[in-house]
Amino acid sequence: MNTQPSPAATAEPLLLDAALPEFRFSRLECAVIAAAPDVVYRAARDLDMLSIHSPLFDAVMWARGVPDRLRRRPVVTPPSMRVSDLFEAAAGSDQGDLEAQPWVALGERAGREIAFGAVGRVWKPTIEWRRVEADDFAGFEEPGWAKMAAAFVVHPYGERRSLLTYEARTACTDPASTTRFGRYWTLVSPGVGIVLRGALRTIEAASEAGQRNP
C-alpha cells in the first residue's frame, strides 16, 4: 500500500508558525462565509476593529478602560484600528508614529494570510507595551514579557464559499511572566473569544456585501 502523502495533503507552514511556533496560550475561531477567498481576504485586511459592535464586545472593550478610569486618566481611543494600517505604517508614518503603535505586521501572503503581533505586559492594570519590530519578533527573549501573535487565514471551501480562521497565540519569555499571564488569561480568555468572533462576523458581513456588489 502506498502511504506517501499526496501533494494536496502536505501541510503548509503558517506565517504564525514562523513568528510564534511555540506557545502556551491560544484561541482559534472560524467561520464559513458565502464569498470568494479573495473577497474575504480583502475584507479581513480592511477590518477596522473599532467597527465591531455587540453588547458583549462593547462591554469587553469598556472593561479594558476601567483601570484608567479609576485613576482618572483619559481613555484614549484612536480614530481607527485597521489591520491594513499595520502593513502600510512603515511607508507612510514617521518614527514617532511607529513607536506609538505596539502592533506590527509579521507577514502577509496576499489573498491567503495576514499576521500581526505585539509584545506587552498585558496583565498590568495599565498595559505596558514594548515595540518589537517584525524581524526581531520571533527571536525576542527578554524576560518579563508576553509575545502575542494573531492571523487571519482564508481557505477555499467548495466552489462558492470560504473558510476564514482567526487565531491568537501567546508565549511568555520566562516562567514568572507565564504565571502572571496564565492568571490573566483565565479571566480574559472568554472575552478574547468574543472579540475574535465579533471580528469574524464583521468580516463576514463585509465579504457577503462585497460578493453581491463587486
The percentage of the chain sitting over the pLDDT mark of 90, rounded to a whole number, equals 56
pLDDT of 117: 93
Q: Cα-flanking dihedrals φ and ψ of residue 22, to 5°? A: -115, 125
Contact 154, 163 (CB under 8 A): yes
User: Maximum CA pair distance of the chain?
Assistant: 70
C-alpha 16 chain-centroid distance = 10
With a cut of 50, say whether residue 56 has pLDDT above it: no
> What is the rounded average pLDDT for all residues in the chain?
82
Q: Which three cell numbers stand for residue 163?
A: 473558510
Q: Which three cell numbers stand for residue 201?
A: 462576523
**pLDDT digits 0-9 by tens, 104-140:** 999 999 999 999 999 999 898 878 889 999 999 999 9
The one-letter code for the residue type at 160 is: R
Q: Which three cell numbers stand for residue 53?
A: 459592535
Q: How many whole angstroms separate alpha carbon 124 and alpha carbon 102? A: 16
